[in-house]
Structure 1
Amino acid sequence: MRSVTRTAALVIGAVALPAALAVAVRARSGPDDPRISVGAAPPATLLPGDVRDPAGRMIAGAVWTGLTAYDGRGGTPVDAAAESITSRDRRVWTIRLRPGQRFHDGSAVTARSFVDAWRAVLREGWHGARLLTDVARVKGAGGRDDDVEGLKVRDERTFEVALDRPFNGFPALLADPAFLPLPDAVLRSRDWASYARRPIGNGPYRVRSHDARETVLEPRDGRGPAIVVRAMPDAGAQYRAVRAGELDVATAVPPDKHASMDADFRGRHLSVPGRTATYLAFPEWEERFAAPALRHALSMAIDRRAVAEGPLGHQVSPADALVPPGIALGRREGQCRACVHDGAAAAAALADAGGLDGPVTLWYEAGAGDDAWVRAVADQWRSTLKLDVRPKAVPAAELRRALAERRVDGPYAVRSAAAYPAPAAALAPLPRPDDGPAADLIEQSLRAATPDDGVIPARLAESSLLRDMPVMPLWCRHDHLVWSERVRGVTADAFAGLVLPRLRATD
């Protein structure tokens, strides 16, 4: 199996702090303020190779220009810093940079700016390292030293990347922040902490200031508005601030405003299909869960819409396929018939499969925010299938060990994000038998001559997985945006997030 977070004075202070923040926001966001303000959860880091959240990806997309880029409109990324990305066998790729590119400090963007940055990602064990080792599978990328066999600089503007196997999705993967360049000064100093506080990129926006409250970006060429990304983790606060004219764009909408969003922001709201999905997987070593009919019964007993609209507060869409809706290439809707809630059919299917005796342990990661939906699914299985369901929350490291040691004895929660916009990118990380037909079909999809040629084997792989159901889709994350009348050009997709350089003030 591949497996794939005392006194009255204190009370007064707690009330006064949000009020003070609101006044500060209002003071900086009045009608005469030429800057465009965006509310978002604070990014975990601005170090590009370690970016791990939507806010970090959003800011990175403005501050850096990668080899390829997502344009916020879905589909295949386009060349950006790269003049060309070519390969005869999809295993060895030659990347040629556009001439004359500079970082914000004036230093040149060279082939080594990329190659040495990737080596740093691997050496430091940053969040993006997995994309180099497990997704791209760069030759020799498993170690923690600078000698990576698959990375070769050919000249100032050209470098070569050798992979362990043919991979048609490599150019699309290069749009991820893990593959962004770093200037020579920080590569030599390795002072990552200082750099993360005031990063120097090569993109259309530069970081003017960054602290726990906000990140201020200014256009590199002086054209376009300055953008202030405010640290506002509370979706309700963002929503209210936009309605009050104190914020221009909210990147989250609270559950209680889902129904009124259109009335409050007619023509100024957007739902963005996501790339992240939640699944339940079955341990292949547990014979009691081996029958596909039994797995289908468990799936049909889950009312996904009720969970999405209840415990998950309209922040997800019920899954009807294994591939998330944020992937436009080759995705088909309605592929998972067993994802349609039908309690009577679920009970009959479970009986036909011989039933399920004894307790059912539902494993999930402690602290990952899954408690509410796990309890809801457990209750549905109890009421519909009369099962003795016992949720079990364990720390992430313990869950990984339990899976590796085959101690997991029931369904377990899996959250997976596609690394690039192709169906195989969503299917490849999912738990499944290594020797089944789906594994071969996914490999065929990855090795196909083009991403388009990989669609048919990926579809066949999805059909095979849904038939045997080693993993069942539950729901897919989506984002909501609302904005004020002050701005236009609000564009977003599952991989780029909100595209900051497209934002403009209304005339």
Structure 2
Amino acid sequence: MKTARFGMGAVALVSVVSLTLAGCASSDGGDSGDTNKIITTNGSEPLGPLITVGTTETGGGKILTSIYAGLVSYAADGSIQNDVAESIESEDGQNWTVTLKDGWTFTNGEAVTANSFVDAWTYGATFSNAQASSYFFDNIEGFDYEADSELTGLNVVDDLTFEVALTAPEADWPLRLGYTAYMPLPSVAFEDLEAFGENPIGNGPYMMDGEDAWQHDVQIDLVTNPDYEGVRKPANAGVTFKFYTSQDAAYADVLGGNLDVLDAVPDSAFGLFEEEFGDRAINQPAAIFQAFNIPYYLDHFSGEEGKLRRAAISMSIDRDEITSVIFEGTRTPATDFTSPVVDGYSSSLEGADVLAYNPEEAQKLWAEADAISPFGDATFDIAYNADGGHQGWVDAVANSIKNTLGIEAIGKSYPDFKSSLEDRVAGTLTGATRAGWQADYPSLYNFLAPLYQTGAGSNYEGYTSPEFDALLKEGAQAQSVDEATALYQQAQEVLLEDLPSIPLWYSNATGVYADTVSNVEFGWDSVPLYYQITAN
């Protein structure tokens, strides 16, 4: 298993850009195997209708990337390759011309045209439509965070050509375009988008297996799209995503041959999975960051008092011990807010010492906070979803905080991810909450903007910092890799000061697969490349 480094360097950042992405043939995955079998894998119940511009969580995202094809797609190492796009070109990094390949259709027979992209992006960016991925379009001319407005930067030239005018040069802009928010939508979607999202019509390698394909809280059944001719041509007959209430149950099914692929090994199996599965075990770096967030609306966690308590809690966590004992080498203690596999990662940011275990300093800071307003006998809880295999580490983190600060600290279990997110969205958490990020595209920016930018779709705890926002914007408009990286690192130093999120560790992609399948490869984002998997 190789570790690839990637990021904005995948697209040269220069003052004058002429970029035509090479079309790449998909891998045949070795032996063809039985192409008539459905592959089974684990998943989670999507939080809402499957809408490209409205889905920001991993469970729904894995489905959407399977049933849609965008302008580009990501190879296993995070590099981009043309899918629907024939070319994506710019002379200045600000004004782009996108040319589509001819002959693409949605599974209802409708042609994929320039309007399929422009209409989808416009809908996603429109303020009153309240789509969670709207901020992905904030760099296009005409975008408005506070009112409906036309995206004046989008212009359809003809059926196969459209132009995009950005608010400032962004030479790495094409790197974003494999993310689901930029996928096309057929015209029928806009008749009733929520209803459409229950049985979406895509243009990707897979499609929904009839009207009953989505059995809520049970599974989603996908079959191959016979008309797909892109770079992800399936080597199987389809994929069924089974929704498990626990990772242990999913792991037991792989052991028993009742599940083909599992993309998240439970912590109870960390010491066993490589021995039990041998060369069918995956343990490789991935673009996944894990943390927990403390809402500013909680008593004792805002203002100067809150700043002291956040730092004290961070310093009271023994990350080295937890990653060694609980995760058995499948995690690495965090030194920033991104991932070691993304270009620009740093282990030496100013202020990163707040992420080191320092019980004496933690106790000192906690006492200073108590001098402002006593914490008393209040309980500090950390919310988590029980179906995600988080109980072990949450209990360990809570114990580390409890033992260091002498306060009551506990985990607070929710049955599933959906229910845990509801209190985050509603702003009704009683304490901290498990948080994390699996990158949408391989860039430092993607680890920062969706989570901490003011008003961003996944900024559930409502963090806002004009200084952070300004550095983020300046970095996005930088003309070189080095300049952009330096600005994103400065932005992270603001986060280390404010600690809207307490970084914990980076996750490896850990997975296993049964002897029922072959040609299993996990991508840069820890998601298996489903289309390559063959049944034995």
State TM-score, norm by structure 2.
Answer: 0.71
Question: Given that residues 306 and 369 in structure 2 are in contact (C-alpha distance below 8 angstroms), is that contact kept between their aligned partners in structure 1?
Answer: no
The one-letter amino acid of 2:39's match is: I
The one-letter amino acid of 1:218's match is: T
The one-letter amino acid of 1:132's match is: F
Match of 2:405 in 1: 385
Match of 2:531 in 1: 501
Question: Given that residues 281 and 414 in structure 1 are in contact (C-alpha distance below 8 angstroms), is that contact kept between their aligned partners in structure 2?
Answer: no
CA displacement 1:22-73 (0-9 Å, x = unmatched): xxxxxxxxx9973322232234443333333323322322322101222232
For the residue of structure 1 that corresponds to 2:279, the secondary structure is: coil
Match of 1:299 in 2: 314
The one-letter amino acid of 1:111's match is: A
For the residue of structure 1 that corresponds to 2:452, the secondary structure is: coil
Q: Give me the whole-angstrom Cα distance separating, in 2, the residues matched to 1:171 and 1:454.
A: 16
Match of 1:93 in 2: 96
Superposed, which structure 2 residues align to 1:337-348 within 5 Å? 337-347=353-363
Match of 1:38 in 2: 41
For the residue of structure 2 that corresponds to 1:267, the secondary structure is: helix
Q: Give me the whole-angstrom Cα distance separating, in 1, the residues matched to 2:411 and 2:63.
A: 37
**Cα distance, 1:215 vs structure 2:** 0.6
Superposed, which structure 2 residues align to 1:98-497 within 5 Å? 98-122=101-125, 124-133=129-138, 136=139, 139-142=142-145, 147-187=150-190, 189-190=191-192, 192-193=194-195, 195-209=196-210, 210-212=213-215, 213-220=219-226, 224-233=235-244, 234-271=246-283, 273-280=286-293, 286-290=303-307, 296-304=311-319, 317=331, 319-325=333-339, 327-333=341-347, 336-347=352-363, 358-359=374-375, 377=397, 380-386=400-406, 395-396=423-424, 399=427, 415=435, 417=437, 418-428=439-449, 429-430=451-452, 434=465, 436=467, 440-451=470-481, 453-463=483-493, 465-466=495-496, 472-476=502-506, 479-493=509-523, 495=525, 497=527
For the residue of structure 2 that corresponds to 1:266, the secondary structure is: helix
For the residue of structure 2 that corresponds to 1:492, the secondary structure is: coil
The one-letter amino acid of 2:108's match is: D
- Name the Cα RMSD after superposition: 4.2
**Cα distance, 1:339 vs structure 2:** 1.9
Task: Report the more deviating stretch, 485-494 or 252-261.
Answer: 485-494
For the residue of structure 2 that corresponds to 1:497, the secondary structure is: coil
For the residue of structure 2 that corresponds to 1:485, the secondary structure is: coil
User: CA 1:476/1:153 → structure 2, altered by over 3 Å: closer, same or farther?
Assistant: same
Question: Given that residues 381 and 410 in structure 2 are in contact (C-alpha distance below 8 angstroms), is that contact kept between their aligned partners in structure 1?
Answer: no
CA displacement 1:268-299 (0-9 Å, x = unmatched): 122463434324468696123556xx765442
For the residue of structure 2 that corresponds to 1:287, the secondary structure is: helix
Q: Give me the whole-angstrom Cα distance separating, in 2, the residues matched to 1:462 and 1:58.
A: 28
The one-letter amino acid of 1:339's match is: L
- Unpaired runs of at least 5, structure 1: 1-30, 403-407
Q: Give me the whole-angstrom Cα distance separating, in 2, the residues matched to 1:225 and 1:391.
A: 41
For the residue of structure 1 that corresponds to 2:290, the secondary structure is: strand
**Cα distance, 1:107 vs structure 2:** 2.5
The one-letter amino acid of 2:137's match is: L
Question: Given that residues 151 and 160 in structure 1 are in contact (C-alpha distance below 8 angstroms), is that contact kept between their aligned partners in structure 2?
Answer: yes
For the residue of structure 1 that corresponds to 2:70, the secondary structure is: coil
Q: Give me the whole-angstrom Cα distance separating, in 1, the residues matched to 2:275 and 2:178.
A: 36
Match of 2:64 in 1: 60
The one-letter amino acid of 1:275's match is: I
Q: Give me the whole-angstrom Cα distance separating, in 2, the residues matched to 1:206 and 1:433.
A: 39
The one-letter amino acid of 2:319's match is: R
Q: Give me the whole-angstrom Cα distance separating, in 1, the residues matched to 2:262 and 2:402.
A: 39
State TM-score, norm by structure 1.
Answer: 0.75
Q: Give me the whole-angstrom Cα distance separating, in 2, the residues matched to 1:439 and 1:305.
A: 31
Question: Given that residues 383 and 411 in structure 2 are in contact (C-alpha distance below 8 angstroms), is that contact kept between their aligned partners in structure 1?
Answer: no
Question: Given that residues 58 and 500 in structure 1 are in contact (C-alpha distance below 8 angstroms), is that contact kept between their aligned partners in structure 2?
Answer: no
Q: Give me the whole-angstrom Cα distance separating, in 2, the residues matched to 1:383 and 1:36.
A: 46
Q: Give me the whole-angstrom Cα distance separating, in 1, the residues matched to 2:146 and 2:279.
A: 51
CA displacement 1:187-216 (0-9 Å, x = unmatched): 4x33652x4344332222333331314413
CA displacement 1:332-386 (0-9 Å, x = unmatched): 3465333232324544676799977611878889776799977765654443234
Question: Given that residues 83 and 97 in structure 1 are in contact (C-alpha distance below 8 angstroms), is that contact kept between their aligned partners in structure 2?
Answer: yes
Q: Give me the whole-angstrom Cα distance separating, in 2, the residues matched to 1:338 and 1:174.
A: 35
Question: Given that residues 452 and 464 in structure 2 are in contact (C-alpha distance below 8 angstroms), is that contact kept between their aligned partners in structure 1?
Answer: no
Q: Give me the whole-angstrom Cα distance separating, in 2, the residues matched to 1:378 and 1:191.
A: 42
Structure 1 vs Structure 2: percent identity of aligned residues? 25
The one-letter amino acid of 1:343's match is: P
User: CA 1:288/1:62 → structure 2, altered by over 3 Å: closer, same or farther?
Assistant: closer
The one-letter amino acid of 1:328's match is: V
**Cα distance, 1:113 vs structure 2:** 0.5
Q: Give me the whole-angstrom Cα distance separating, in 2, the residues matched to 1:32 and 1:164.
A: 46
For the residue of structure 2 that corresponds to 1:252, the secondary structure is: coil
Question: Given that residues 320 and 334 in structure 1 are in contact (C-alpha distance below 8 angstroms), is that contact kept between their aligned partners in structure 2?
Answer: no
Q: Give me the whole-angstrom Cα distance separating, in 2, the residues matched to 1:32 and 1:132.
A: 39
**Cα distance, 1:483 vs structure 2:** 0.5
Question: Given that residues 61 and 180 in structure 2 are in contact (C-alpha distance below 8 angstroms), is that contact kept between their aligned partners in structure 1?
Answer: yes
Task: Report the more deviating stretch, 354-363 or 339-348.
Answer: 354-363
**Cα distance, 1:262 vs structure 2:** 0.6
For the residue of structure 1 that corresponds to 2:137, the secondary structure is: helix
User: CA 1:371/1:451 → structure 2, altered by over 3 Å: closer, same or farther?
Assistant: same
The one-letter amino acid of 1:61's match is: T
